[in-house]
Amino acid sequence: MKAAFFGLEKWEEEYVKENITARPEMEVLFFPQKLDKDHLPPRTDFEIISVFVGSSLDKETLEKFPALKFITTRSTGFDHIDLEYCRVRKIIVANVPSYGENTVAEYTFGLILSLSRKIYEGVDRIRETGKFSSEGLKGFDLRGKTLGVLGTGKIGCHVIRIAGGFEMKIIAFDPFPKNELVEKLGFEYKNTMEEVLTAADILTIHVPYMKETHHLLNERAFSLMKKEAYLINTSRGGVVETSALVKALLEKKLGGAGLDVLEEEGVIKDELDFLVFGHPEEHNLKTVLANHVLMDMPNVLITPHNAFNTAEALQRILDTTMENVESFLQGQPQNTVK
């Protein structure tokens, strides 16, 4: 049995080597780069592969692995994998369903506080100009403000827990509400997403990316929000229509945004690589340009898909990934994606 891990840092590679409990005859190879059709390894005879969200396992890439039987992604999301093709090939796909509900939720509030209190602007002012002045840095309290939460899965619920500590009013929408948690966590479900959009002072998104959530936040959605409202996205870039967000911000129909994810973030992450290897017809170049507009806006904070990135969460991801491999080898795969 041959397995390959892609995109691990050196310490992660060493951790896997020390802790993976596979069969003695199993051969495990490590490749530091991501995996996609432009970044193929010298060997493709693996039955098992593990990737992170920066990889793109489309049909063209997967066709290069004729022996492939099992994919374990080191993430909760799996929109970077062609599940339909995997079903045709009978390739089992597993994920890490829970590794950082507190991790991502804490980061969400990091973005909220950075925007509400203009923390980044204050740090940048002192570092760049040496000017120790609070002029122009007036923020606003979170206490008493309405937090709108789209998606009340594990991350969304942990965000609600934290918001309670700030004494915020919390409203939420989820097509599958967890009514048993309403009293315990102290929030209110609204019947429609529109009700949350119109009432929220801060809107935070915690939904998976799928066909139903593609551009969930679009021009119509932004038109319903308060002009001073802030958007926070730590879920997936494709949930927000970038051009609509730019338009809303330019027309001052939103107060600002904190974004840890972007549409076409793979291109933004490695634009030189895209220029050399990329195929323009496969990417929305208008969205790429809109991302650069967002980066230059003073009321927008963008971070590089970093909400998951703590030592504890990364170890949990690796532990679950190794358990996924072991369960597959035992003929009882766990955490499989349907």
For the annotated catalytic residues, the residue numbers are: 236, 265, 305
**By the 8 A CB rule, do 206 and 158 touch?**
no
> Tokens at residue 289, please?
């340009």
> Tokens at residue 23, please?
């069969």
Dist. CA 275–CA 245, nearest whole Å: 26
* Summary count for the chain: helices (H), strands (E): 14, 12
Q: Enumerate the β-bridge partners of residue 173.
A: 150
User: Which residue in this structure is represented by tokens 């429609």?
Assistant: 192
Beta strands in the chain (DSSP E): 2-6, 27-31, 48-51, 70-73, 92-94, 146-150, 169-173, 188-189, 202-205, 230-233, 256-259, 300-302
Q: Could you write out the DSSP letters of every residue in 315-336?
A: HHHHHHHHHHHHHHHTT---SB
- For 20, 39, 49, 213, 275, the CA distances from 210, given in Å and listed in that order, are 32, 25, 23, 5, 28
Q: Measuring CA to CA, which residue among 282, 287, 288, 276 is closest to residue 38?
A: 276
Dist. CA 247–CA 181, nearest whole Å: 36
CA 43 from centre of chain:
30
Dist. CA 91–CA 128, nearest whole Å: 52
SS3 label, residue 215: coil
- For 97, 101, 176, 280, 293, the CA distances from 286, given in Å and listed in that order, are 33, 33, 34, 11, 11
